[in-house]
Chain A
């Protein structure tokens, strides 16, 4: 090799090295820029979603729902910033778009990147979903929670003496929505074990910008996770188990490979305690707790539903008035019809029996779609039915237990209400209540026994069928 050839080759090699180095730096800069904005406030708030085995990832796309008020230009600008492209708008869900990731990055990571943005309500990978096992062409989603197979109320395959399809049709509903952490459901009960591993990521935490709860009579209460009306404290820890069970039905974290799935995989549960370790409490404390919810709603906390798995045969005008105030504040009140096996048209049970436009009274069903033997009913006073016998959910001591009662049926309905709101945040209380009534599955066992004559159907309520 002569001297001229050597210099030429050396120059060529240096150019190639410089080009490679520049390309590598470009990739590094892109990665650094993306990671610098990937601020996930509570990492576990973003459950890893899982799918049926036969649901292969087909397209590196995302489903991103922007918050109300985010313009089309801003959406396009955000997508362009990540070298993505808005491919489609989902007309039936305001703000929801399908996004094509031109870089073909990991869909879960890209979804997390979007979720960290203040303009985004939620973001999730757009996997292909499988066809329903029973045919009919409906899509469904299956969580990876190991005890999901025991949750017949969500998906009844007919095993253990049950009847196939005697459930709230949750898997089809989940193809449309698995819930949203922007929706808050107050569980007015014996409190909630907010440390339970299957609940803690779905427990409401008072926003940093909101000060402690102040009441002229009660003083200042540091309500970090909710409110305890028994001792007027900010610690609504459950010492009975009843409230924790109800909370798990509404919103045990789904797709986290732990325990059970709630009707909502993601939601915010606001624990409220007014019943003691024995599972009973006073009307006055129930009123204080509802008053707390209304005040927090007026402070800007997006509480949309109160789940009330309790009651008595005593009518209280004061309790009725505060539930009416909740209605005026835009809060749905879902209540247990009671476990006395009676017709509540003749022997009322309260608060389910208050004739208010935000109250839903709930009866309990067996896994065979029969009215539970203990359940109250009433062709004029009990509105809908939901699973309520042998319901597996979260319990004290990081445990899970099967329980029965209209207490268990009630949070199924409260949970479906939250699921509907996650899909339609602006829906009014009256429209929500009507939608839940109109979307039931009529059952022969309920004909003439409750107002709608049907079992709640989550899939139909969210428009998935």
Chain B
């Protein structure tokens, strides 16, 4: 199943709540924008990960918790947490991918 924008936001909120060990209700969605990322890993590739160097359309999802901002990046194939404590993370890939 391809991931929709709404599903991506929902999964991002769930993921952040789990990582921060807080309630989903305490996370606010500050914005979701259509954008173009620099590569097929949405500019958020992990260690030991190679990505196609092709501009790739997707969604930038901005969340906030306890006054701090977090950025998720997604498209129909994937959801990634960008620059979380200095690292990028791929989220729930096995559930998202076909």
Residue pair B53, A240 in contact (C-beta under 8 Å): no
Which of chain B's residues have a CB closer than 8 A to the CB of A337? 53
Decide yes or no whether A408 CB sits under 8 A from chain B: yes
Give the Cβ gap from B2 to chain A, nearest Cβ, in Å. Answer: 10
Known A277-B77, A277-B97, A374-B55; contact A283-B50, beta-carbon cutoff 8 A: yes
Q: What are 15 sample pairs from A and B whose C-beta atoms fall under 8 A apart?
A: A189-B52, A242-B40, A276-B97, A277-B97, A279-B41, A279-B51, A279-B77, A280-B40, A280-B51, A280-B52, A280-B78, A311-B50, A314-B48, A405-B38, A406-B53
B52: chain A residues at CB < 8 Å are 189-190, 240, 242, 275, 279-280, 309-310, 405, 407
Complex CA gap A189/B54 in Å reads: 12
Q: Count residues of B near A (Cβ-Cβ below 8 Å).
A: 21
Please state if A280 and B98 are interface contacts (CB–CB under 8 Å).
no
B39 vs chain A, min Cβ distance (A): 6
B47/A338 in contact, CB under 8 A: no
The answer for the CA separation of A216 and B49 in the assembled complex, in Å, is: 25
Whether A286 lies near B50 (C-beta < 8 A) is: yes
Partner of B38, one of A309, A310, A374, A410: A374
Min CB–CB distance A219 → chain B (angstroms): 24
The count of chain A contact residues (Cβ–Cβ below 8 Å) is 36
In the complex, A395→B78 CA distance in Å? 20
How does the 8 Å CB contact mask read for A399-419 relative to B, with 1 for contact and 0 for none? 000011111101000000000
Complex contacts, B38 vs chain A, CB 8 Å: 339-340, 374, 405
Name 14 extra pairs, CB < 8 A, besides A278-B97, A374-B55: A242-B40, A242-B54, A274-B50, A278-B93, A279-B41, A279-B51, A279-B52, A281-B51, A282-B49, A309-B53, A310-B50, A312-B45, A336-B53, A407-B54
Interface centre among A279, A310, A311, A408, by most chain B C-beta atoms within 10 angstroms, is A279
Q: Which of B47, B48, B54, B56 contacts A408 (CB 8 A)?
A: B54
- Is A304 interfacial (CB-CB < 8 Å)? no
Interface residues of B (CB under 8 A from A): 38-41, 43, 45, 47-56, 77-78, 93, 97-98
Q: Which residue of B lies closest to A364 (CB)?
A: B53
Residues of chain B with a CB closer than 8 A to A277's CB = 77, 97-98
Which 7 A-B residue pairs are closest in the complex by CB-CB distance? A279-B40, A405-B54, A278-B77, A339-B38, A336-B53, A407-B54, A407-B53
Residues of A within 8 A of B93 (CB): 278
Residues of B contacting A278 in the complex (Cβ-Cβ under 8 angstroms): 40-41, 77-78, 93, 97
Q: In the assembly, what is the distance between CA of A338 and CA of B40, in Å?
A: 12
A339 in contact with B48 (CB, 8 Å): no
Task: Given A240-B40, A276-B97, A280-B45, verify A312-B54 contact (CB < 8 Å).
Answer: no
1/0 per residue, CB under 8 A from B, across A265-289: the answer is 0000000001111111111101000
A138 to B38 Cα, complex, angstroms: 39
- Name the distance in Å between A390's Cβ and chain B's nearest Cβ: 10
Closest to B55 in A: A404
* Residues in B neighbouring A374, C-beta threshold 8 A: 38, 55
Question: Are B53 and A339 touching (Cβ within 8 A)?
Answer: yes
* Inter-chain contact B55/A283, CB cutoff 8 Å: no
A115 part of interface (Cβ distance < 8 Å): no
A residues 406-435 in Cβ contact with B at 8 Å: 406-408, 410
Q: A314 to B53: give the CA distance in the assembly, Å.
A: 14
Tell me which residues across on chain B come within 8 A of A339, comparing CB atoms: 38-39, 53-55
Complex Cα–Cα for A214 and B69 (A): 51
Interface: A245 (CB within 8 A): yes
Cβ of B49 and Cβ of A281 under 8 Å apart? yes
* Interchain CB contact (< 8 A) of B54 among A279, A284, A314: A279
**A316 contact set on B, CB distance < 8 A:** 48
Q: Is the CB of B41 within 8 A of A280?
A: yes
Shortest Cβ gap from B73 to chain A (Å): 12
Contact partners of A279 in chain B: CB under 8 A: 39-41, 51-52, 54, 56, 77
Bound-complex Cα distance A406 to B54 (A): 7
Chain B residues with CB below 8 A from A336, complex form: 53
Residues of B within 8 A of A275 (CB): 40, 50-52
